[in-house]
Structure 1
Amino acid sequence: MTETFSSPLPARIRALAPTMSRSMQRVAEVVAEDPAGCAQLTVTELAERTGTSEATVVRTVRELGYTGYRAFRLALAGYAGQQQATDSPSVTADIAVDDPLTDVVAKLATDERQTLADTAAGLDVAQLEAAVTALAGSRRVDIYGIGASALAGQDLAQKLLRIGLIAHAHTDTHLAVTTAVQLGPTDVAVAITHSGATGEVIESLRIAARRGATTVAVTSRPGSPVTHHADLVLATTAPRESELRPAAMSSRTSQHFVVDCLFTGVAQRTHDRAAPALAASYEALVHRRVRPESH
């Protein structure tokens, strides 16, 4: 049976590359840059092209989820064919210092679309379903995130609050730890960390897990330290980093997409109470808006 990519190849490689050795990363990068050409190469030829060994190529193939090189080549050829059939002329997402703003807008739009597509393709729907179920039935939700990830955490908290759930987004690491010890089996703790290695966020999730709460990690690094304390893992896309657009900025697109998926699922599950709560919050905001002065 032919194996296929569960998510687009570039996104898969970006997610796994940080856990690979440098030589394995070279193989992955070359394959991502030229899938059609690499699909024609034997394992020996790919090793020569990447300046590595046959053993390194085989290890890389297995790390990417394939049982052998033959299955990898077949899937790679299929991916290259799909890419050729659907690709249209587009601009690269790499932004140069002297790019005109029209190009900057086009490149950012291309990157945002690809990030959303990659995240959707790589999201484990069974894990998402379980997270939605836990959130919908929770007594309380605590969310941990620092820096750019804190923005996604705050977004999730305010969305859940608007449909009547008790939710708190913690950016103060001391407060996060002291409140984590108050959680129990009917509560949910969500850690949002692009790297999966933010110590303060991991510590809060570890405590929540020890207290019996359902723990959810939203990260672009499968197998990273934060996932060791997570019952459920929701994968975001590891973004392409450039000089003018650091990873912290582009990673938010993927995180906010996952947040929207969680919120929408919970709103569906709790529709009887969510709909009136949303209507009430909307009505409260409408009355606070400044009306135009009449002349």
Structure 2
Amino acid sequence: MSILKKLSSPQIKTSKADNKLIHYFLSNGMKACSSSISEISEHCDISHATVTRFARKFGYETLKDFKIAIAQDLGAQDSDKSTKKSAINLKESLETTAQKLLQLNQTLLSQTAVEIGFDSVAKLVKEIVQARRVFFFGIGSSGFLAQDAARKIARIGIDARCYSDSHEIMTHSAIATPDDLVIYISNSGRTNELVKSAAICSKRKAMICAITAETTSPLYTFTDITVLHAVHDYDLAHGYADSRLSVFFIIDLIYIELIKAIGEKAIKVKQETQHAIDSLLPDNK
């Protein structure tokens, strides 16, 4: 049974505070999912502990897991309602496809903003700043995303490196240290090379993060920090699923938060690295 159905027809004995929370989540939808525990407790006039206990009554270890479940239910409902509207077919006009794709991407980013877990992003930013080295690992299309992330973060003075070849990933996993941070980009969290790498890095006591859409994957079992994102599916012949836009969104968010955390030093280094790159242009020879 979906969490929305459980809230609508609770099979547990509910208190006055529970009923306030049920009404709050059913009435506010996605807005409630993006609210902090302080905002929820203040709105319902109850304690933080009561909110946490409420989530556990419905089978969720944390409030974050509870809100993600609601967001996924709401997303599924929206998807069901708009399936005919958003399904892309081979005979429609360019303009129609553009509008459908825009709608899908807007939904993808909205869902990612709900699922991402801002506490996890804040913790990851702190770990990046403190790490001796930051390794980004990804295979296939995730490797290109990892490369973009490492290049962007390196340009503000952080020792960030990307490896997308399985041999290189294993090599650098074997020399990871407790002072290093390893960030995996994997939609499914089931890529064999990355799971094996995470097992090695875990034994070597490196800090491990995953940017992923799955919390039930083998990779997730090794992570110290998990940053979640949404994936959109749209029908085109046999179907297509994509998460690149949501991962780019997360990378940009991390990058901006790093600049905010480091301050003027990051801006200065960014200017210096840009100047060095500009020196390669023909006009500067």
Q: Same fold (TM over 0.5)?
A: yes
Counterpart-to-counterpart distance in 2, 1:201 and 1:268:
30
Q: Does 2:240 align with 1:246?
A: yes
Q: Deviations over 1:191-226 (max 9, x none)?
A: 111111111111112211211111001111112111
Which of 163, 177, 181 is the aligned partner of 2:174? Answer: 181
Aligned position for 1:21: none
What does 1:121-140 align with in structure 2 at a 5 Å threshold? 121-140=114-133
What does 1:21-170 align with in structure 2 at a 5 Å threshold? 92-170=85-163
**Which deviates more from structure 2 when the two are superposed, residues 197-206 or residues 280-289?**
280-289
Instruction: Figure out how many residues of one structure are paired with residues of the other and give that number.
Output: 224
Counterpart-to-counterpart distance in 2, 1:185 and 1:7:
41
Counterpart-to-counterpart distance in 2, 1:229 and 1:64:
20
Is this contact kept in 2: 1:191–1:202, CA < 8 A?
A: no
Aligned position for 1:269: 261
Change (3 A) 1:192 1:63: farther
Q: Deviations over 1:78-114 (max 9, x none)?
A: x79xx8xxx9x99933211001101111111111111
Instruction: Report the 3-state secondary structure (helix = DSSP H, G, I; strand = E; otherwise coil) of the residue aligned with 1:261.
Output: helix
Q: Deviations over 1:97-140 (max 9, x none)?
A: 00110111111111111111110111111111111100111110
Is this contact kept in 2: 1:141–1:188, CA < 8 A?
A: yes
Q: Deviations over 1:152-184 (max 9, x none)?
A: 111110011101111111111111111112111
Aligned position for 1:32: none
| TM score, norm. by length of structure 1 | 0.68
What's the offset of the Cα at 1:64?
8.7
What's the offset of the Cα at 1:242?
2.5
Is this contact kept in 2: 1:91–1:107, CA < 8 A?
A: no
Is this contact kept in 2: 1:118–1:237, CA < 8 A?
A: yes
Is this contact kept in 2: 1:91–1:106, CA < 8 A?
A: no
Counterpart-to-counterpart distance in 2, 1:148 and 1:246:
14
Aligned position for 1:194: 187
Unaligned runs of 5+ in 2: 1-17, 34-57, 63-69
What's the offset of the Cα at 1:290?
4.6
Aligned position for 1:220: 213
Instruction: Report the 3-state secondary structure (helix = DSSP H, G, I; strand = E; otherwise coil) of the residue aligned with 1:149.
Output: helix
What's the offset of the Cα at 1:230?
0.3
Higher relative CO (Cα under 8 Å, sequence separation at least 6) belongs to 1
What's the offset of the Cα at 1:264?
1.5
Aligned position for 2:280: 288
Instruction: Report the 3-state secondary structure (helix = DSSP H, G, I; strand = E; otherwise coil) of the residue aligned with 1:215.
Output: strand
Instruction: Report the 3-state secondary structure (helix = DSSP H, G, I; strand = E; otherwise coil) of the residue aligned with 1:240.
Output: strand
Root mean square deviation, CA, Å: 3.3
Counterpart-to-counterpart distance in 1, 2:86 and 2:127:
37
**Which deviates more from structure 2 when the two are superposed, residues 130-139 or residues 234-243?**
234-243
Counterpart-to-counterpart distance in 1, 2:152 and 2:281:
20
Counterpart-to-counterpart distance in 2, 1:255 and 1:143:
13
Counterpart-to-counterpart distance in 2, 1:156 and 1:104:
29
Percent same amino acid among aligned pairs? 23
What is the one-letter code of the residue matched to 2:139? I
What's the offset of the Cα at 1:246?
2.1
Q: Does 2:208 align with 1:255?
A: no
Counterpart-to-counterpart distance in 2, 1:208 and 1:200:
12
What is the one-letter code of the residue matched to 1:285? I
